[in-house]
């Protein structure tokens, strides 16, 4: 039997105690697609509404009029749902376990404390002139203040836009300008793997860029006490302002469709897009999926290893778990520090029951052999989860056997920044697992596969993954550019949401995500547009032209392979390769570091001047035999040169 055919059936014991078993999944799924209005009206009751919605679903995927509204006459506040409503029953329960980069640093924050500190911060935001509808940028380490900042914004109706702390000043500036953000919340430095990252310096640099004058204030958490510059009148210490505020802050009554947050992500073309997520549908969906997909049971400790800079951190570190009154663990550091055993040691230290991580982290550990887990027992674990990229069956089995002691179901959760929450995933008490498959759709989700003309494929098939109808967690628009939203997601195939992913459906109806079919790279689970990297490179004086493609990478899933055509008269050299690598890291961030740079005297282009990426991808993957038809190229001989000089790995 090949790895791909291996099935791990649901254990009877697990199913007996799970929220959802096979029968229940079938019944609820059927209800959700037969009667979405009735199903979601019922599910929305898990949220505390100020005014309960009477209108449930009002959505159109018609490309002339894409309009998505859920619970549109309901009002609520997301922060009271994550905080206030838990105070009576679980005020003293730990809401956030924070584990610092240094293994000796940890703290527990109860729901009562989280509530009080969030209210203080919310009052501080008001004192800084922030109100309903204003956009606040968060550029923060993985510290509890990041969750507080998100919730404090939600409390007063401000819209947060979290920018991953690994992004460069330019990337930060671009997002501040794009969202018209009046305030940045940051820290002096973040600490990861024993190293300091100069967040405040990066903010200072970002705020010298044109257009960033919109940002009037910078609120700074003192994390390390490292040396930073200070701009009087603009910069405010968090502890100076927040500590003196009242811990009472009434929550703003928000419409279900008022924006909760913006989150930038990469697409195949142009600058990153700020996806707009709204309040009622998002919160309902994040909390429902968190409870059922991780089978979260009251009192359990749940750990998602993502960063709050990504959507996974939004939905499955902050909003989903806290709306459910869970204990959510937030880890500041990296899994390899101080040793590769750290992840298992954290599980033991805090008796983690549910561990949600990424294939790239699993593969990195796996490369060190089974003994990397010798320093921990991990017998508290009950459910494992994977997200961000396809998980190869070998990594799945290793995760299952070594980390999970062959004792925990794995939920391979497929979703996107745009989807707000998980769309395709096992429910651990309901699905037999096939390593590498995200299995079946969540309630209310209607996946379909289409060919390149948009014809729907039935049964066993391989095609482009689309979703036929709306679900409550879906992004409503691109901030300030609804046309781009329609163009990007609803125009390739009419009347459906196009995910950008390729997918196969097997004989059991299980979905196997095969990866992006557009020019988006997924490097260690981080989404990046090839166009963004290319435009960074061509801004360098030595670069005439650049083409970026992904190639299979053992640990990262995909690596970044760059073909560079130099400006006339510039000599290729290793020093120049280093310089270009630094250039991209500085321009976008270390996550965009090129793995391979190949000098390309010419790029394969059609007669109309379009670069044939298909060929470049093949060469980068060392698959030079199956290049297909190159006769339409303007100059087929460039291909021979590229093959001859390709980087052999
Ligand atoms: C990929 C992350 C296979 C996919 C939540 C998607 C996955 C992109 C999986 C979204 C998975 C995410 N199996 N591929 N379980 N999860 N992806 O917006 O290509 O950062 O389109 O959201 O990651 O990345 P994003």
Q: What counts of helices (H) and strands (E) characterise the chain?
A: 21, 31
Q: Quick one: pLDDT at residue 3?
A: 44
Going from the Cα of 431 to the center of ligand 1, the distance in angstroms, rounded, reads 20
Q: Is the CB of 389 under 6 A from ligand 1?
A: yes
Is the confidence metric ipTM above 0.95 for this complex?
A: yes
- Residue 326: which of 297, 346, 292 has the closest Cα? 297
Taking the C-alpha atoms of residue 151 and residue 84, their distance in angstroms, rounded to an integer, is 11
Which residues are paired to 611 by β-bridges?
605
Domains of the chain: 97-255 (3.40.50.980), 524-645 (3.30.300.30)
Residue 11 Cα distances to 2, 15, 72, angstroms: 22, 6, 41
437 lines ligand 1 (CB under 6 A): no
Burial class (CB in 10 A: 0-12, 13-18, 19+), 243: exposed
CB 438 less than 6 A from any atom of ligand 1: yes
Distance between CA atoms of residues 51 and 276, nearest Å: 23
State the distance from the centre of ligand 1 to the C-alpha of 383, rounded, in angstroms.
Answer: 20
550 ligand 1 Cβ < 6 A: no
Q: What predicted TM-score, i.e. pTM, was given to this entire model? A: 0.95
Report whether 437 contacts 412 (CB < 8 A).
yes
β strands within 148-197, DSSP E? 159-162, 183-187, 190-192, 195-197
Are the C-beta atoms of residues 251 and 79 closer than 8 Å to each other? yes
E strand or H helix that includes residue 593: none
Q: Work out the angle between the directed axes of helices 169-179 and 574-587 (0-180°, nearest 10).
A: 30
Ligand 1 atom at minimum distance from 499 CA: 21
Q: Does 425 contact ligand 1 (Cβ within 6 A)?
A: no
User: Going by CA atoms, what residue is nearest to atom 12 of ligand 1?
Assistant: 388
State residue 392 phi and psi, 5-degree precision.
Answer: -75, 145
User: Is the shortest distance between the CB of 310 and ligand 1 below 6 Å?
Assistant: yes
What CA dihedral angle connects 160, 166, 171 and 175, to 10 degrees? 0
Instruction: Find the Cα–Cα–Cα–Cα dihedral 541, 547, 553, 557, rounded to 10°.
Output: 110
Block means of pLDDT (10 residues each) for the chain, 649 residues, are 73 97 98 98 98 98 96 98 98 98 98 98 98 98 98 98 96 97 98 97 98 98 98 98 98 98 90 96 99 98 98 98 98 96 98 97 95 98 97 96 98 98 98 98 98 97 98 98 97 97 97 94 93 93 95 95 96 96 95 96 86 91 84 86 86
pLDDT of residue 649: 67
Residue nearest to atom 14 of ligand 1 (CA): 389
- Environment class of 253 (CB within 10 Å of its CB; exposed 0-12, middle 13-18, buried 19+): middle
User: Which residue's alpha carbon is nearest to atom 5 within ligand 1?
Assistant: 416
User: Which residue has the least CA distance to atom 13 on ligand 1?
Assistant: 390
Among protein residues, the one with the nearest Cα to ligand 1's atom 25 is: 416
The protein residue with its alpha carbon nearest to ligand 1, atom 6, reads 416
388 annotated as belonging to a binding site for a ligand: yes
Which residues on adjacent β-strands are paired with residue 94? 110
Cβ of 604 closer than 6 Å to ligand 1, yes or no, is no
Closest C-alpha to 477, from 257, 177, 308, 182? 257
Beta carbon of 190 within 6 Å of any ligand 1 atom: no
């Amino acid at each position: 039997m090949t790895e791909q055919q291996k099935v791990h059936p649901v254990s009877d014991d697990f199913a007996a105690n799970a929220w959802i078993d096979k029968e229940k999944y079938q019944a609820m799924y059927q209800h959700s697609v037969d009667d979405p209005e009735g199903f979601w009206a019922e599910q929305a009751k898990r949220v505390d509404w100020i005014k309960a919605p009477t209108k449930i679903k009002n959505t159109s995927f018609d490309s002339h009029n894409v309009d998505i509204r859920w619970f549109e006459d309901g009002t609520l506040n997301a922060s009271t749902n994550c905080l206030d409503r838990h105070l009576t029953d679980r005020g003293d329960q730990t809401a956030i376990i924070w584990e610092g980069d240094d293994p000796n640093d940890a703290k527990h924050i109860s729901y009562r404390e989280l509530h009080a500190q969030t209210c203080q911060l919310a009052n501080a935001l008001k004192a800084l002139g922030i109100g309903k509808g204003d956009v606040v940028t968060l550029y923060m380490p993985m510290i509890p203040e990041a969750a507080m900042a998100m919730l404090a914004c939600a409390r007063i109706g401000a819209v947060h836009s979290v920018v991953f702390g690994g992004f460069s000043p330019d990337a930060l500036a671009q997002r501040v300008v794009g969202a018209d953000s009046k305030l940045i919340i940051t820290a002096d430095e973040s600490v990861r793997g024993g190293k300091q990252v100069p967040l405040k310096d990066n903010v200072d640099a970002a705020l010298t860029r044109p257009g960033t004058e919109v940002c009037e204030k910078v609120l700074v958490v003192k994390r390390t006490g490292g040396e930073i510059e200070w701009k009087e009148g603009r910069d405010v210490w968090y502890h100076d302002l927040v500590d003196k505020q009242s811990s009472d802050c009434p929550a703003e009554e928000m419409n279900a469709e008022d924006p909760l947050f913006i989150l930038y992500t990469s697409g195949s073309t142009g600058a990153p897009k700020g996806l707009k997520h709204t309040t009622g549908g998002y919160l309902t969906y994040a909390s429902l999926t968190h409870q059922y997909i991780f089978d979260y049971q009251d009192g359990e400790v749940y750990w998602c290893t993502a960063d709050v800079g990504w959507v996974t951190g939004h939905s499955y570190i902050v909003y989903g778990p806290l709306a459910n009154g869970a204990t959510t663990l937030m880890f500041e550091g990296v899994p390899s520090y101080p040793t590769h055993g750290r992840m298992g040691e954290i599980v033991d230290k805090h008796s983690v029951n549910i561990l949600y991580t990424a294939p790239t982290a699993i593969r990195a550990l796996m490369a060190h052999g089974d003994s990397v887990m010798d320093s921990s027992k991990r017998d508290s674990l009950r459910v494992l989860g994977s997200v961000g990229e396809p998980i190869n069956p070998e990594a799945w089995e290793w995760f299952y056997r070594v980390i999970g002691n062959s004792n925990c179901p794995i939920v391979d959760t497929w979703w996107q920044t745009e989807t707000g929450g998980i769309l395709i995933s096992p429910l651990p008490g309901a699905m037999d697992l096939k390593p590498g498959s995200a299995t079946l759709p969540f309630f209310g989700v209607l996946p379909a596969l289409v060919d390149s003309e948009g014809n729907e494929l039935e049964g066993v098939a391989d095609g482009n993954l689309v979703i036929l109808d709306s679900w409550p967690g879906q992004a409503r628009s691109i901030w300030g550019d609804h046309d781009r939203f329609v163009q990007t997601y609803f125009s390739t195939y009419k009347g459906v949401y196009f995910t950008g992913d390729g997918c196969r459906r097997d004989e059991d109806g299980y979905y196997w995500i095969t990866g992006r079919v557009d020019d988006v790279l997924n490097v260690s689970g981080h989404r990046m547009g090839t166009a963004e990297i290319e435009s960074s490179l061509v801004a360098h004086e030595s670069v005439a032209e650049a083409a970026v493609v992904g190639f299979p990478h053992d640990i990262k899933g995909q690596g970044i392979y760059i073909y560079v055509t130099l400006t006339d008269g510039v000599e290729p050299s290793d020093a120049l390769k280093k310089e270009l690598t630094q250039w991209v890291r500085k321009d976008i961030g270390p996550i965009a570091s090129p793995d391979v740079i190949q000098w390309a005297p010419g790029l394969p282009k059609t007669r109309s001047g379009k670069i044939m990426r298909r060929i470049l991808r093949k060469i980068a993957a060392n698959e030079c035999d199956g290049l297909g038809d190159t006769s339409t190229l303007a100059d087929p001989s460039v291909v021979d040169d590229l093959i001859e000089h390709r980087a052999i790995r």
